[in-house]
Structure 1
Amino acid sequence: MSNDSRIETREIADDDLDNVAGGLSVSGSLKGLTANFVPGPNGIPVLTSGSIKSVSLTVSDIPLGPIGS
């Protein structure tokens, strides 16, 4: 049995995004972030592996209207 949470998604029309005053508000948090890097070309770190215990992301200020429209 899976212990995964369900994620609800919805497509947003380009016109709705164009009419958002002030842009989008995005916030979030990570817990239990582990990342492993190795030196890459020109000294730029390259991610080789990683994991996240939990993540939360909130996007607001998008007028979606009634669900099912």
Structure 2
Amino acid sequence: MGLIAFAVVTVVGAIIISTGVGVPLAAAMGFAATGPVAGSLAAGAQAFVGNVAAGSIFAGLQALSMAAPVP
């Protein structure tokens, strides 16, 4: 699941960030104000990558989710 989750998060994340669609779609992939939700695509992607690089798409999605959490 890790590689597929990473690929989905990267492609969809780039679309979310570039179009400004934002927080609801990031939340649907498992990004929350407290971090990736266990068992989600975000968690699978992070498990595959390990240490997330600053400035990466994953980091951008997580920052977006922490700045404007979905209730």
- What TM-score do the two structures reach when normalised by structure 1? 0.22
More strand by share: 1
More helix by share: 2
Between the two structures, name the one with larger relative contact order (CA 8 Å, sep ≥ 6). 2
Structure with greater Cα Rg: 1
